[in-house]
Amino acid sequence: MPRNTLSRSKEKAIATGLAGFTLIELLVVIAIIALLMAILMPSLQRVKKQAQGVTCQSYLKQWGLIFAMYTQDNDGKFLAGYHHGGHVAQWHKALKDIYLEKMINFCPLATRNRVEKNAGTAGTATWSNVAGGTFYAWGQGSGAAYSGGSYAVNSWATNPPDDLASGPPENFWRTPNITGGANVPLFTDSMWIDGWPTEHNTPPDYFDHMGNSMTRYCLDRHDGGTNTIFLDWSVRKIGCKELWMLKWHKNFGTANEWTRAGGVTHSDWPEWMSHLKDY
């Protein structure tokens, strides 16, 4: 066949697509892309979670400013909470005139509605139905029975009248102006709005379960721990097992049975916490 005939045949093949990729070549390319995606996806998920953790800490820093502004306007004292026959630290109501952006109520990893978690039963009176969870808010939207959020105040860091305090009045941190504030939690990731942890509170028996006050904060929300702002306005991640080492109230024993100083062993923790870091 003459050369010019070959050239015309080649040009025709190219024009009609016959000189493109074969099916096998396309399948190989698709397989390579799928393999790369499988390799990269876990890394991308980790990066996303890390970014959400950084955002969460950024929100808590903003809350630190809000709490600081409140104390400056109230003779250096923390909020008293709303009183309904007892002390309830409803920070979202006490501070509502200071903050405007509702989204900072929610950790980016816990914006889902508790109604989803509890199959539409969140309006009932049981704790398991009104509470949130590790990746669920304890409330959602201004029209909900409870205003939305996925953080909680340490109720010992409030300033209630002695006759309405839900606990010994001498236990309360009534002001941030103290020594050792870097070990006193103020505001932290939680599955409920508040809590009064004691050194004898036991860890939750199973994942995402709220029983005593400490279990409200004992969340594996950020790779083994929760984000917390302290009375010195610093923010850091706290390991779930580390929660028992913090000075929640003035007389909280930090050498309790759930600390190394108190004799806890790795096998003492519930199974779901066995993989978490010991302190």
- In this structure, is residue 12 part of a structural domain? no
* Residues contacting residue 127 through CB under 8 Å, at least 6 positions apart: 210
Segment 187-230, tens digit of pLDDT: 999 998 889 999 999 999 998 888 899 999 999 999 999 999 99
- In this structure, is residue 70 part of a structural domain? yes
The string over 188-219, giving b where at least 16 C-beta atoms fall within 10 Å of a residue's C-beta and e elsewhere, is bbbbbbbbbbbbebebbeeebbbbbbbbbbbb
Q: Mean pLDDT lowest for which of 32-46, 144-158, 168-182, 221-235?
A: 32-46
Structural domain for 199, as ranges: 22-273
**Residue 57 pLDDT exceeds 90:** yes
- In this structure, is residue 263 part of a structural domain? yes
Q: What is the DSSP letter of 277?
A: P
Indicate the pLDDT class of residue 88, thresholds 50, 70 and 90. Answer: low
Output the six-digit token pair for 108: 């980016």
Predicted structure pTM score? 0.79
- In this structure, is residue 128 part of a structural domain? yes
If one counts the domains in the chain, the total is: 1
Highest mean pLDDT range out of 33-47, 93-107, 117-131? Answer: 93-107
Give the residue among 157, 235, 240, 162 at the shortest CA–CA distance from 196. 157
- In this structure, is residue 196 part of a structural domain? yes
Of the two residues 208 and 158, the one the predictor is more confident about is 158
- In this structure, is residue 269 part of a structural domain? yes
- In this structure, is residue 194 part of a structural domain? yes
The string over 11-32, giving b where at least 16 C-beta atoms fall within 10 Å of a residue's C-beta and e elsewhere, is eeeeeeeeeeeeeeeeeeeeee
- Please name the residue that has the structure tokens 């100083």: 261
- In this structure, is residue 10 part of a structural domain? no
Average confidence score pLDDT of the chain: 83
Distance CA 200, CA 188 (A): 20
